[in-house]
Amino acid sequence: MDGFILTSPSFADGAPIRGRYSCDGADLSPALAWEGAPAETAAFALIVDDPDAKGYVHWVIFDLPGGTSGSLPEDVARSVSSQGRNDFGRVGYGGPCPPSGTHHYRFTLYALSQPLRFPGNPSADLVRSGVAPVLLGRTTLTATYTRQR
């Protein structure tokens, strides 16, 4: 969707993400901001995955407040409700931690016509299935990360 964009003060689209947001650093979630979502957006969902690792999921968060714009601060607490289970087996954000080489991290934000209202900590697959019938638009921001060994 033209005009619906996701940005971060922590990295530019396609650029490396700093170590503080990875398993090699403090493992903090980066700050994110978006604008240009459809006017009828009632909620947002965000899924962060690694397409170089068969879609390994790093973060699932859903039922973020709707509107045409919004943001998430750096270091969203794992205790914040409406977060799913990542592929590390934890609730909340799990930063880049590639076994080798440079990997890409896809931050996909979905604009939804209604909240998903899942109980507990759903998987990314469940959130994706819930997104499909209420999707108004989506935008993606990509970062890269290479571990320094």
Q: What is the pLDDT along the chain (149 residues), one digit of tens a residue?
A: 469 999 999 999 999 999 999 999 999 999 999 999 999 999 999 999 999 999 999 999 999 999 999 999 999 988 778 999 999 999 999 999 999 999 999 999 999 999 999 999 999 999 999 999 999 999 999 999 999 76
Q: Any idea which architecture 5-146 has in CATH?
A: Alpha-Beta Complex (3.90)
Res 61: pLDDT: 97
- For residues 122 and 142, is the Cβ–Cβ distance under 8 A? no
Res 149: pLDDT: 65
Res 62: pLDDT: 97
- How many CB atoms sit inside 10 A of residue 148's CB? 7
Res 2: pLDDT: 66
- For residues 49 and 113, is the Cβ–Cβ distance under 8 A? no
Res 148: pLDDT: 79
- For residues 57 and 105, is the Cβ–Cβ distance under 8 A? no
Res 79: pLDDT: 76
Return the DSSP state at 133. G
Q: How do the domains of the chain map onto residue ranges?
A: 5-146
Question: What distance separates the 2 farthest-apart alpha carbons in the chain?
Answer: 47
Res 80: pLDDT: 79
Query: Tokens 């689209």 correspond to what residue?
Result: 13
The sheet with strand 43-50 has its strands ordered as 56-65, 43-50, 102-112, 135-146
